[in-house]
Amino acid sequence: MDAENLHYFEKAPVAKAVAHFAVPMMLGMSMSVVYAILNAYFLGTLGNTAMLTALALTLPLFAAIMALGNLIGIGSSAFISRLLGEKRYDDVKHVSSFAFYSSLVLGLILMAVGLPLIDSIVHGLGATPDSFGYTKDYVTIMITGSPFIVLFFTLENIVRSEGAAMTSMIGMILSVVVNIILDALVIFVFHWGVIGVASATVIANLAASVFYAFHIGYKSPFLTISIKWFKASKEILSNVFKIGVPVFIMSIFLGAMSLIFNRFLVEYGEQAVAAFGISSRLLQFPEVILMGLCEGVVPLIAFSFTANKLRMKHTIQFTIKGIITLAVLFGVIVYLVSDHLIGLFTNDPQLIEMGSYILHVTFLSLFITGMTALFTGIFQATAQGTAAFIMSIIQGITLIPVFFIANRMNGFHGVVWSLVIADAVTFLVGATMLYILRNKLQPDLESLVQ
């Protein structure tokens, strides 16, 4: 580890250390949302609601591909940061090499299994006759490029695990910039529509993966992608998968919930699906800022867990204050200008009204979402596999029955409010587990949850 990163891990004031790890992550992730918003905007300029619907319907597929990257990436990164805290540098090389090649293999398996099942996948995503062709085009390209997407999410995580937060951010921004440039070309110059948009996403992920691989191969002091360091020992598999599997399950649940949500919304017309697609992209911006804060500090928490538990406690306390501040700030902004935000994507008055309503309701749980992400990050960083697993399934277990009940009782409004209810339950479960585990994590950690 270079001296600068070691300084932020061990000696820098907590506020500066959190900023060093979290701000690049927040900026990088927010750029990804800017891309997603521009993506919808570019397609929206074509005046084809079916294309926007296809974009919304394919969100669960992207979540599933991302889940494979996070399965290896987040599990490996948390382990790498703990190993750095213990100064086990050779083991770091073994884990990083394992992460690189395992993610490639998972992506290839997904491509081999997914391509023969394209039509079934598109039907399963809930495509309507109008949007079926566009959805199929998008799905085909995304599955074909899935090895690069899986690799991107894996490498971004392990680069960040050694404290190279700026490098992680640069890779994410590179992906976004390439994506935006290619989007403009394929839509406005070549007129490739959905096929072009999907292809741009794959190429952008490939470009960022090459950038990360170059950094790991030539600039990282401890990470490696050399096959000679590949090792799949019991310790590596256990530590990677006890954190990675819960993250994978959580991502799959999020994708499944998005799928189920879309299927319910289809009952209320394609405008409802399109409205959710637009509002969810707008909601992503403040959500990823909070997620960037919470995920950004995970390497610092993991390192401190094995090196300095008091510093870990102060890091968590500072992060909670940041979540509160950001949630209040974004909430005020959205409630003041929600109609104007939705109006950037469509002139349809009903679409604006539905999108604004969804935005208002889902923003109610912004603070809860941030805290839930922090709870999950703490459990990942401290190798609390059982707690991480519970966090991965509780929202899905709660949300699915709530969907059915709320839809029956209050129709469209019930479906939208189901998201807030499930978030609240997840928050309460996470807070309870943190309280129960406080002595295991640190004898004086109880002050964090009182």
pLDDT digits (tens, 9 = 90+) for 109-162: 999 999 999 999 998 888 888 888 899 999 999 999 999 999 999 999 999 888
What's the confidence (pLDDT) of residue 417? 86
Burial code of 112-143, b = ≥16 C-beta within 10 A, e = fewer? eebeeebeebbeebbbeeebbebbbbbbbbbb
DSSP secondary structure string for all residues of 333-366: HHHHHHHHHHHTT---HHHHHHHHHHHHHHGGGH
The pair phi, psi for residue 128, each rounded to 5°, is -85, 165
DSSP secondary structure string for all residues of 43-95: HHTTT-HHHHHHHHHTHHHHHHHHHHHHHHHHHHHHHHHHHHHTT-HHHHHHH
Residue 342 belongs to domain spanning: 3-448
Regions of the chain where pLDDT drops below 70: 1-5, 37, 254-255, 258-259, 441-450
What's the confidence (pLDDT) of residue 115? 93
Which residue is it, tokens 């974009």? 55
Angle at 380 between CA 15 and CA 319, to 5 degrees: 20
* Residue type at position 428: L
What's the confidence (pLDDT) of residue 448? 46
Q: For the chain, what is the largest distance between any 2 Cα atoms, rounded to a whole number of angstroms?
A: 62
What's the confidence (pLDDT) of residue 78? 87
Structural domain count of the chain: 1
Question: Cβ distance 415 to 430 under 8 Å?
Answer: no
What's the confidence (pLDDT) of residue 118? 92
Question: Cβ distance 393 to 412 under 8 Å?
Answer: no
DSSP code at position 382: T
Distance CA 257, CA 444 (A): 37
